[in-house]
Chain A
Amino acid sequence: MANWFRFSSPQTFYPLAGKMVPWFAGAAAVLALLGLYIAFFVAPTDAQQGESYRIIFVHVPASWMSMFIYLVMAGWAAIGLVFNTRLSYMMASALVPTGALFAFLSLWTGALWGKPTWGTYWVWDARLTSELVLLFLYIGVMALHAAIDDTRRADKACAVLTLVGAVNIPIIYFSVQWWNTLHQGASVSVTRAPSMAAVMFAGMVVMVFAFWMYSIAVALARVRAIILERERHAGWVHELAVA
């Protein structure tokens, strides 16, 4: 059996992450080009919404990633609290800015889609408000981390906040079922066939994978920066700096 714990040490993980970043970044670029091609040149005009629906190809991937990254972050936070591993906390904090970015993009593209389809950029309904709360949770985690000088205490406080905030994710996801909302219901579900044209769905899935690969690449690159910042008293980091 491979010794996975070996990779939980920042020293072994730093070069490994460095090797993985270009692959994930490359995959993200290729998938994004393919996804954009499908989004603009293959997918037909929507019968009801005209061309405005093409926002879906960035809106849905950004929204999914904003929620998915939060769950991954909560997973790392939980592992950190249970096993007290430094790298888990570093992974968790490497994901926060990217998650916040996708939450912002979800709201931004949603607003620009809402105006032509609903007639308003914003409405205080369940789906939109819970997504805004998600953005505030991300910002809250970053602010809390910055506010505590002792990094290990900051990590633990942020992990607890992250886990408590995780309750918001099912609220966002099911908000369109639980409350009357302006936002449409899920077009895609694991239990039934997607209620959209196959080619539109394909474009969306490709863009989701592009955003996913992007997130992995940027989080790995950021965790490398965090390792250098935090392990600056470790000998191996200095050998790395001199090399």
Chain B
Amino acid sequence: MNWGSAAEFFAMGGYAPYVWGSYAVTALCLIVEPLVVRARRRAAAARLKALEGAARRTASEATA
């Protein structure tokens, strides 16, 4: 175990801004990217549904 206390852990031997700055930005990026990808797939699926709905309406109008 490297750390005597939580405060010591967060202080990172005086390098806190550098160490936590690296880890925080990395974590943020790796959390945000999957969310962006999920939003992109959902947007594509919603667009497909809209297209499908429009195609159905046109088809039913044509038969009516």
A interface list, Cβ under 8 A from B: 25, 40-41, 43-45, 50-52, 54-55, 58-59, 62, 97-98, 101, 104-105, 108-109, 112-113, 115-116, 214, 217-218, 221-222, 224-225, 228-229, 232, 237-238, 240-242
Contacts and interface: CB of A to CB of B under 8 A. Distances in A.
B15 A116 contact: yes
Number of contact residues on B: which range applies? 20 to 34
Interface string B22-64: 1101100110011001101100110111011001000000000
A54 B20 CA distance: 10
Contact of B48 (A52, A104, A241): A241
A101 B29 contact: yes
Given A222-B37, A238-B52, A229 B23 contact: no
B40 A225 contact: yes
Contact of A105 (B12, B29, B34, B41): B29
Contacts of A112: 17-19, 21-22
A41 to B, nearest CB: 6
